[in-house]
Amino acid sequence: MKKKLQLNKLSSEVINQIAAGEVIERPSSIVKELVDNSIDAGASKIVIRIRDGGMSLIEVSDNGGGIPKENLSDIFLAHTTTKLANMDDLNTLLSMGFRGEALSTIVAVSKVSVTSKYDGEKVGNKISFTSDSESKVSSTPRESGTVVKVEDIFENIPVRKKYLKTVQTEYRHIVDILTPYFLIYPNIHFELFKNDKQVINLLSKEVNSGILDKDRVKEVLKQDFVDRMEKVFFEGNGIKVSGLTAHPSDHKKRTKFQHIFVNGRSVWDNGIARAVIQGYERYIPHGEKIPFIITININPELVDVNIHPRKEEVKFLNPYRVFSAVEQAVSKALEKLVSYKDVGKKNVGDSKAQYIPDFTRKSKDYASSKNITFSKRGSVSDSLKFSEAILKESKPLGASDIGIQTSFLKPEKEVGEYKAKEVVSFYQIFKKYVIVEFENEIWIVDQHAAAERVTFEKLSKSVEIKNTDIQNLLVPTEMGITHSDIEFLKEYKKMVNNLGFDIEIKKGRLSIKSIPVEFVHADIEKLFNDIFDMDIEDSKKNLDRLKMDMVATMACHTSIRAGQRLDIPLMKDVYYNLLDCDNPYSCPHGRPIVWRMSIEEIDSKFDRTY
Ligand code: ADP
Ligand code: MG
């Protein structure tokens, strides 16, 4: 026999506690709600006091507009808010809070007292609550603003209390939740006290709220990479994107330095994060993360902030428009970051030219060979002269005293310094790595990754303006291709031509009549097959990405490969051409190219101190 189930009507207290669980997960959620309220009240200074990871005390005081006496006891009622009157308001809302549930749920899980002086009244007032009692409102001296004091969190809900972690962990959560506020409100003076000791004091800056201030960012994150961050900006379609994004060399295994703000609210959105990372694809090792702070200002009608209990996520009416705005903002910033070189420098004629020398040696070989002809912009001898100029330039200046330790090749300024550094000698090991010996360190260069990078950069420039040296094939390479490949080639023929491939489709077969010189040793059929294997559907959304994907795929077939013995001149080419790259840090697939090791590091392995 079936047991009869009893249907219980939950008491309002239990209901409140359940609801509280969604909004108030842990002490840090209380901090967030209270700080939101202070910001909504127009505070220019907010002081947060935490004791025992917030478990025994959270106190947030502000100098905002305050709460009128007559409202004091009501603000703790569920769904009571001064910020929202009807559904229409929800669509235009810019305040942090709006559901009127924070204070009521906080009261459901702790002891709360509020002291506040409303701007329009003469004296301050005080009220205190527990989950089942409420004090009378009494007047009390206070100059301005509001203090909310929350004590004994989850004391009345042992189950939840049990789930709290250590004091230290809860405290860390609080700092993590505060960090975005510190970043996005440089106009607000924040103080944080941990067990009565001041641990953070961020003076306000003369900027508007929601505008990042680099000094504030540095004060908050305390990371050197902040200095190297680049401003991001895009405006259009009712969306404004601004913020800061890290230099590609500052990539991290994991990073907590990724922040997204939508209309001043800290949120997480995978789509936006992906849009940022997309811009970095060619510059950082696969799977690595990059620090960024992206702020998006968008018409509130185009975003729903009411989809998450703690408002940690938002939903855009037109997400792709937002992603594309972010992507554009970031790629613009990146372009600036990686074209740091002073291209006009002495013997470096123009920026395109600097990618030529790598292949001049081969050009010469092939030029002297009878059956190959060159069609080119800029004669072979020009390129040769140029190559020599670069080699000369890089030699005689002597070692500079840069601080050196073991690391992958990092920030941009270093590369410039290496151009002036004398190379003692070149070696090759394992048919894979070129060792470059300097006076006080060595570089281990992945020869294929380096060559790929050089070719990639050269080709990416010729996608727009043909500037590759072309080698005509005596006997064209022919291969069978599928119908969709033909369609693809038709569509992108000009691009393929610009890259230096002269192709023709005859009777359903592809005939390749000329190729860029750097592919003279490559398996052209395989190269084209790799291009056809690219995820075109995905790339089609954005022509620029498709171009770059194609170029990266081609660069992979570059003539210097792993497993190939290199003579000294080729090793030199690898090194000097790499120095001339916009981004010598990683190959187009994101693998690192250079590993540096200092003499000190090597000496220390042998316990040698001199
Ligand atoms: P919400 O923020 O969604 O309106 P809350 O429960 O957080 O809901 O707060 C309820 C109301 O209490 C707010 O609408 C506001 O009028 C008032 N309030 C709370 N904290 C403050 C504060 N620090 N300064 C001024 N008013 C406050
Ligand atoms: Mg609120």
Tallying the residues shown for the chain, one arrives at: 610
The more confident residue out of 344 and 200 is 200
Smallest CA separation from ligand 1 atom 13, residue: 81
Residue type, 307: I
Asked if residue 75 has its Cβ within 6 Å of ligand 1, the reply is yes
Residue type, 523: D
Instruction: Point out which residues pair with 111 in neighbouring strands.
Output: 151
Atom of ligand 1 nearest to the CA of 96: 2
Task: Kindly report, residue by residue over 356-374, the tens digit of the pLDDT.
Answer: 222 222 333 333 332 323 3
Smallest CA separation from ligand 1 atom 21, residue: 37
Find the helix packing angle between 568-579 and 380-394, rounded to 10°.
Answer: 80
Ligand 2 center to 35 CA (angstroms) = 8
The verdict on pTM exceeding 0.85 is no
- Among 16, 34, 40, 44, which is best to mutate for testing ligand 1, by the most ligand atoms less than 8 A from CB? 40
Ligand 2 center to 37 CA (angstroms) = 5
Q: What is the DSSP secondary-structure string of 427-463?
A: EEETTTEEEEE-SSEEEEEEHHHHHHHHHHHHHHHHH
Asked if residue 39 has its Cβ within 6 Å of ligand 1, the reply is no
Structural domains in the chain, CATH included, are 12-202 (3.30.565.10), 223-338 (3.30.230.10), 400-610 (3.30.1370.100)
Asked if residue 575 has its Cβ within 6 Å of ligand 1, the reply is no
Ligand 2 center to 316 CA (angstroms) = 22
Atom of ligand 1 nearest to the CA of 103: 6
**Average pLDDT for 485-493:** 80
SS (H, E, C) 388-404: HHHHHHHCCCCCCCCCC
Integer Cα distance of 144 and 122 in angstroms = 10
Helix extents (H) in 94-248: 102-109, 158-163, 167-184, 214-221
Looking at the chain, the whole-number percentage of residues with pLDDT higher than 90 is 35
- Among 30, 33, 75, 265, which is best to mutate for testing ligand 1, by the most ligand atoms less than 8 A from CB? 75
Asked if residue 305 has its Cβ within 6 Å of ligand 1, the reply is no
Asked if residue 62 has its Cβ within 6 Å of ligand 1, the reply is yes
Ligand 2 center to 312 CA (angstroms) = 14
Asked if residue 100 has its Cβ within 6 Å of ligand 1, the reply is yes
Instruction: Compute the mean pLDDT over every residue in the chain, rounded to the nearest whole number.
Output: 79
Look at residue 454 and tell me whether its pLDDT is greater than 80.
yes
3-state secondary structure of 311: coil
Smallest CA separation from ligand 1 atom 7, residue: 102
**Average pLDDT for 120-132:** 89
Q: What is the DSSP secondary-structure string of 325-385?
A: HHHHHHHHHHHHHH--S-TT-TT---TTGGGSGGGHHHHHHHHHSTT--EE-SS-HHHHHH
Ligand 2 center to 525 CA (angstroms) = 64
Asked if residue 558 has its Cβ within 6 Å of ligand 1, the reply is no
Note the pLDDT of residue 540.
54
- Among 36, 103, 114, 129, which is best to mutate for testing ligand 1, by the most ligand atoms less than 8 A from CB? 103
β-pairing verdict for 197-202 and 189-194? antiparallel
Ligand 1 center to 285 CA (angstroms) = 46
Smallest CA separation from ligand 1 atom 23, residue: 38
Top mean pLDDT of 156-165, 366-375, 445-454, 460-469 is at 445-454
Integer Cα distance of 30 and 20 in angstroms = 10
**Of 534, 579, 537, residue with least CA distance to 556:** 534
Asked if residue 186 has its Cβ within 6 Å of ligand 1, the reply is no
Asked if residue 99 has its Cβ within 6 Å of ligand 1, the reply is yes
Residue 459 CA from chain centroid, whole number: 26
Integer Cα distance of 565 and 560 in angstroms = 9
Integer Cα distance of 404 and 396 in angstroms = 20
Note the pLDDT of residue 307.
77
Integer Cα distance of 471 and 374 in angstroms = 6
Ligand 2 center to 102 CA (angstroms) = 5
Q: What is the CA radius of gyration of the chain?
A: 31
Look at residue 487 and tell me whether its pLDDT is greater than 90.
no
Asked if residue 38 has its Cβ within 6 Å of ligand 1, the reply is yes
Ligand 2 center to 167 CA (angstroms) = 25
**Ligand whose nearest atom lies closest to the CA of 114:** 1
**Average pLDDT for 390-413:** 37
Hey, what are 363's tokens?
A: 């050009």
Hey, what are 428's tokens?
A: 């090759």
Task: Give the containing element (helix H, strand E) for 314.
Answer: none
Is residue 145 within 8 Å of 61, Cβ to Cβ? Answer: yes
- Among 34, 37, 181, which is best to mutate for testing ligand 1, by the most ligand atoms less than 8 A from CB? 37
Hey, what are 467's tokens?
A: 């500037």
Atom of ligand 1 nearest to the CA of 145: 24
Task: Kindly report, residue by residue over 287-305, the tens digit of the pLDDT.
Answer: 788 999 999 999 888 888 8
Integer Cα distance of 126 and 66 in angstroms = 12
Angle at 310 between CA 309 and CA 313, to 5 degrees: 90
Q: Who's near 364: CB < 8 A, 6+ residues apart? A: 380, 384
Note the pLDDT of residue 493.
86
Task: Kindly report, residue by residue over 212-256, the tens digit of the pLDDT.
Answer: 999 999 998 888 889 989 999 999 878 999 999 999 888 877 777
**Ligand whose nearest atom lies closest to the CA of 90:** 1
- Residue showing tokens 């992979």: 556
Asked if residue 102 has its Cβ within 6 Å of ligand 1, the reply is yes
Looking at the chain, the whole-number percentage of residues with pLDDT higher than 70 is 80
Task: Kindly report, residue by residue over 522-537, the tens digit of the pLDDT.
Answer: 888 888 888 887 766 6
Helix extents (H) in 73-213: 87-92, 102-109, 158-163, 167-184
Integer Cα distance of 567 and 505 in angstroms = 39
Asked if residue 338 has its Cβ within 6 Å of ligand 1, the reply is no
Q: Who's near 335: CB < 8 A, 6+ residues apart? A: none
**Of 103, 106, 101, 110, residue with least CA distance to 156:** 110
Rounded to 5 degrees, φ, ψ at 56 are -95, -30
Ligand 2 center to 122 CA (angstroms) = 25
Instruction: Point out which residues pair with 190 in neighbouring strands.
Output: 46, 202
Note the pLDDT of residue 260.
96
Integer Cα distance of 456 and 451 in angstroms = 8
Note the pLDDT of residue 544.
75
